[in-house]
């Protein structure tokens, strides 16, 4: 689509690497020599993270909510209009298939935002399970709306300057519809915006005219979410993992009724524990650790680092790792080699399931 070319031209002007997905929607991954600037924007200003590659699937109808409730791990029926919730689709045996964010846009309408590259598989699965329920599904990206996130302490202020009112998620920008909803990235403010395709280019360009606002990419996003202890699907956990292993308490409800994968989740929650679990790391900044490095305890390999940030706080770096569950019960330091000094602290992720 023409709008994709317009947006990507803004990224390319800054030397951006763009990962293109089916349909031509690109995801900005990294920019030339701008990472420190992007991190500063996200921490102290406002970064625009272009997620037009995230498919937006609207489910509308009298039974849309009950259908979705039986598909995903979170309790979508408790969402008020204008609220959003992280969620998962899991397999029958409980392992994660897809990560989602679900927004309730109207009384009988929910919008499912899929991770880049996951949309077709999610849409196919929803369509296959939809048999008799009174609902219709449509892909908003095909001509209605695209997603862009504003992240940082100045995000809300800049939205208000474009016409957004905090009292209502649904608002108008240059005659086009916009949904803006807050879903923080840890403690950092994040506003997810679903913007009318016809006004998206102007929405971005007016934002870029503001002070301390600029485009940011996936590399900077990963730095921040690792600092905040937020695991990412496909990096820190995968289709080999259960929600309990990935520290996703904010993605799952143990109080609602049945959904796909509910029984193994309930058994693990009430009667046992996972074999592996994601943890939050603190490493000395002078350590030579990298993402993918193995971790050791008492000379045995017990897991690996899945994400690592270069942002130093009081001489320490933050990371995320998947380690053996039994190691999480003690506060022993971990090492980067079987015969090296243990220097790595670990603690529970902010949303660990307990």
In this predicted model, what pLDDT tens digit does every residue of 265-276 receive, in sequence order? 999 999 888 999
Quick: pLDDT tens for 256-267.
989 999 999 999
- Among 203, 232, 261, identify where a domain stops: 232
Q: Look at residue 1 and tell me whether its pLDDT is greater than 90.
A: no
Please report, for the domain that includes residue 228, its CATH number.
Answer: 3.30.1360.120
Are residues 171 and 315 both part of a single domain? no
Q: What percent of the chain has pLDDT over 70?
A: 100
Are residues 180 and 129 both part of a single domain? yes
Residue 177 lies in a domain: yes
Are residues 14 and 158 both part of a single domain? yes
CA dihedral 19, 22, 25, 29 (to 10 degrees): -20
- Among 232, 262, 282, identify where a domain stops: 232
Nearest to 91 by CA among 56, 116, 125: 125
Quick: pLDDT tens for 162-195.
999 998 999 999 999 999 999 999 999 999 999 9
Nearest to 13 by CA among 151, 210, 214, 154: 214
User: What gap in Å lies between CA 323 and CA 334, rounded to an integer?
Assistant: 10
pTM of the prediction? 0.96
User: What gap in Å lies between CA 24 and CA 57, rounded to an integer?
Assistant: 17
Q: Look at residue 224 and tell me whether its pLDDT is greater than 90.
A: yes
The predicted model gives 53-82 an average pLDDT of: 98
Residue 4 lies in a domain: yes
- Among 232, 251, 285, identify where a domain stops: 232
Are residues 122 and 165 both part of a single domain? yes
138 pLDDT tier (thresholds 50, 70, 90): very high
Are residues 153 and 226 both part of a single domain? yes
The range of the structural domain enclosing residue 277 comes to: 243-348
Are residues 110 and 181 both part of a single domain? yes
Q: Look at residue 302 and tell me whether its pLDDT is greater than 90.
A: yes
CA dihedral 329, 310, 245, 334 (to 10 degrees): -30
Nearest to 4 by CA among 190, 143, 111, 149: 143
User: What gap in Å lies between CA 351 and CA 347, rounded to an integer?
Assistant: 11
Please report, for the domain that includes residue 317, its CATH number.
Answer: 2.40.30.160
pLDDT of residue 331: 85
Q: What percent of the chain has pLDDT over 90?
A: 94
Q: Look at residue 19 and tell me whether its pLDDT is greater than 90.
A: yes
Among 20-24, 96-100, 191-195, 206-210, the range scoring the smallest mean pLDDT is: 20-24
Residue 354 lies in a domain: no
Are residues 190 and 253 both part of a single domain? no
Are residues 188 and 212 both part of a single domain? yes
pLDDT of residue 329: 85
The predicted model gives 139-148 an average pLDDT of: 96
The predicted model gives 217-233 an average pLDDT of: 98
pLDDT of residue 211: 93
The values of phi and psi at residue 141, to 5°, are -65, -20
Are residues 191 and 321 both part of a single domain? no
pLDDT of residue 271: 85
Under a CB-based contact definition with an 8 Å cutoff, are residues 51 and 29 in contact? no
Residue 107 lies in a domain: yes
Residue 237 lies in a domain: no
- pLDDT, the chain, mean: 96
Residue 219 lies in a domain: yes
Give the chain's domain count: 2
Q: Look at residue 22 and tell me whether its pLDDT is greater than 90.
A: no
Are residues 43 and 180 both part of a single domain? yes
Residue 224 lies in a domain: yes
Quick: pLDDT tens for 79-114.
999 999 999 999 999 999 999 999 999 999 999 999
Are residues 133 and 74 both part of a single domain? yes
Q: Which residue has the tokens 């002070």?
A: 211
Residue 290 lies in a domain: yes
Are residues 212 and 248 both part of a single domain? no
């Amino acid at each position: 689509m023409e709008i994709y070319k317009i947006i990507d031209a803004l990224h390319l002007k800054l030397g951006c690497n763009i990962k293109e997905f089916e349909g031509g929607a690109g995801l900005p991954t990294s920019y030339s020599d701008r990472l420190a600037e992007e991190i500063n924007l996200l921490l102290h200003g406002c970064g625009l993270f272009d997620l037009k590659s995230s498919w937006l699937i609207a489910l509308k109808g009298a039974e849309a909510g009950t259908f979705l409730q039986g598909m995903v791990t979170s309790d979508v029926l408790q969402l008020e209009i204008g609220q959003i919730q992280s969620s998962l689709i899991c397999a029958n045996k409980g392992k994660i298939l897809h990560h989602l964010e679900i927004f309730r846009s109207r009384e009988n309408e929910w919008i499912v935002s899929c991770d880049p590259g996951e949309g077709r598989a999610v849409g196919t699965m929803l369509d296959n399970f939809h048999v008799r329920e009174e609902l219709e599904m449509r892909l908003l990206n095909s001509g209605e709306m695209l997603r862009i996130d504003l992240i940082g302490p100045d995000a809300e202020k800049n939205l208000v300057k474009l016409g957004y009112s905090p009292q209502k998620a649904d608002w108008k920008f240059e005659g086009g519809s916009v949904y803006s909803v807050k879903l923080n990235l840890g403690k950092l403010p994040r506003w997810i915006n679903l913007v009318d395709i016809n006004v998206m280019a102007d929405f971005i360009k007016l934002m870029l005219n503001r002070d301390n606002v600029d485009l940011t990419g996936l590399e900077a996003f990963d730095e921040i979410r690792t600092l905040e202890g937020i695991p990412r699907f496909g990096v820190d956990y995968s289709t080999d993992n259960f929600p309990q292993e990935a520290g996703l308490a904010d993605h799952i409800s143990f109080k609602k009724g049945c959904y796909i994968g509910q029984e193994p989740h309930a058994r693990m929650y009430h009667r046992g524990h996972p074999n592996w679990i994601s943890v939050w790391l603190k490493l000395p900044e002078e350590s030579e650790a990298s993402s993918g490095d193995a971790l050791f305890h008492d000379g045995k390999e017990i897991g690996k680092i899945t994400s690592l940030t270069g942002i130093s706080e009081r001489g320490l770096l933050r990371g995320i790792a998947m380690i053996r569950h039994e190691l999480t019960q003690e506060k022993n330091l971990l090492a980067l080699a079987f015969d090296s000094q243990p220097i790595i602290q670990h603690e529970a992720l902010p949303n660990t399931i307990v």
